[in-house]
Amino acid sequence: MSAYNIVRMRVKPGEVDGFLDIHRSRRFSDMPGMTALRVVRTGERDFCILGEWTGMDALAAARPAMIDILDSFRDKLEDLGGGLGVTDPVSGEAVIERHA
């Protein structure tokens, strides 16, 4: 089964276009094992980034590269509060996968 990482974040006012441009231009070659990337808008400036991976080993191996990418736009993000910082990440393996 595939593995996924999901990261919730809030973009600062006036930074949404730049934030989206960064993700439109990302190269998958920098992330071996990544099979898909989705950016989901959940509010006016709230987003979740969903990465799909061949497995947990590939996801884990890519964490340093993911941190480097986050560092490239961290200044565009607001603190989420509650001690979270600028992201609220989770990851795991799919237990059910269905496609229409």
User: DSSP letter string over 60-81?
Assistant: HHHHHHHHHHHHHHGGGEE--S
Q: Which residue in 45, 62, 61, 54 sits closest to 97, CA to CA?
A: 54
Q: How many domains does the chain have?
A: 1
**pTM exceeding 0.85:** yes
CA-angle at 72, arms to 55 and 37, nearest 5°:
35
Give a yes or no: residue 98 inside a domain: no
- Give yes or no for residue 74 having a pLDDT over 80: yes
Read off the pLDDT of residues 13-64 as tens digits, 9 standing for 90 and up.
999 999 999 999 888 777 899 999 999 999 999 999 999 999 999 999 999 9
Residue 54 has φ and ψ, to the nearest 5°, of: -70, -20
**In whole angstroms, what separates CA 89 from the centre of its chain?**
8
Give the range of the structural domain holding residue 87, as residue numbers without chain letter: 3-93
Give a yes or no: residue 99 inside a domain: no
Read off the pLDDT of residues 17-31 as tens digits, 9 standing for 90 and up.
999 999 998 887 778
Give a yes or no: residue 74 inside a domain: yes
What CATH number is attached to the domain comprising 27? 3.30.70.100
